Structure 1
Amino acid sequence: MQTTILYIGRNTEITTVMNRLLNARPEWKGICVCSDDEAIEICQTNEIDLVLLGNGIDAACEKALRARLTGIKTELKIIQHYGGGSGLLYGEIMTAL
């Protein structure tokens, strides 16, 4: 069974790298976006297991995103990911799950 992970970031290049990293593992399905509205739409139409909030999301936006996302799925796990190697990413994801 695949774990579906939604990454929301502001930097297109980093979002592209995150897409590659998340989809490199067969047990993960990564969906990576740069827009909040796109993220909300994806959460409404897909079964998301975990949301990663990337660099560039300010505190007010993060608060609003968390409220909107948990309004869709109350038990949704949302964590911050601001970079680091793929080992750190793996550890963060496994800890959250």
Structure 2
Amino acid sequence: MSQKTNILYIGRNAEITTVVVRLLNNNEDWFGMGTTLDNEAQKLFMQHPFDIVLLGNGITKDEDLQLRAFFTKQNPAIKIVQHYGGGSGLLKSEILIALGNLNNL
């Protein structure tokens, strides 16, 4: 059994965050967690070995820059993807591209 890809989603809309996390966890190869708060995202990041961070809707440019700086300082190899919606097909594609797993698109 292969290890799951751990994905952290950060967005400002609680309902969308819930949906994205559900979509992530519907994929047997992924484990997703999500939050609407930057400080909670940073705390989760320190507690779990995430492979990908998804930055969602409502994050300002300054918040984006601060989050990226924090995550890459903690893990320079972290993959950070902007995800502003578009359905589960786009979400899957964004994650597979980030993982370099283009054969499964």
The interval holding the TM-score normalised by the smaller chain is over 0.9
TM-score computed with the length of structure 1 as normaliser: 0.98
For residue 74 of structure 1, report the CA deviation from its aligned partner. 1.0
Cα distance in 2, alignment partners of residues 9 and 58 from structure 1:
10
Give the whole-Å Cα distance in 1 for the aligned partners of 2:78 and 2:17.
21
Runs of 4+ in 1 over 2 A off after TM superposition: none
- Which residue number corresponds to residue 17 of structure 1? 19
Higher relative contact order at CA 8 Å, sep ≥6: structure 1 or structure 2?
A: 1
2:82 aligns with 80
Distance 1:53 1:37 in 2: 14
Give the drift of 1:79: 0.8
Structure 2: stretches of 5+ with no match in the other structure: 100-105
The secondary structure found in structure 1 opposite 2:94 is helix
The residue number in structure 1 matching 2:51 is 49
Partner amino acid, structure 2, of 1:68: F
Q: Write the deviation string for residues 44-71 of structure 1: whole angstroms up to 9, x where unpaired.
A: 1110000000010010110001001111
Deviation, structure 1 residue 30: 0.3
Higher Rg: 2
> In structure 2, how many angstroms separate the alpha carbons of the residues matched to 1:60 and 1:72?
19
TM-score by length of 2: 0.90
CA deviations over 1:11-35 (Å, ceiling 9, x no partner)? 0010010111000011100001111
Q: Which runs of 5+ in 1 are unaligned?
A: none
Aligned-CA RMSD value? 0.6
List aligned pairs for 1:27-46, cutoff 5 A.
Answer: 27-46=29-48
User: 1:14 & 1:61 partners in 2: Cα distance?
Assistant: 18
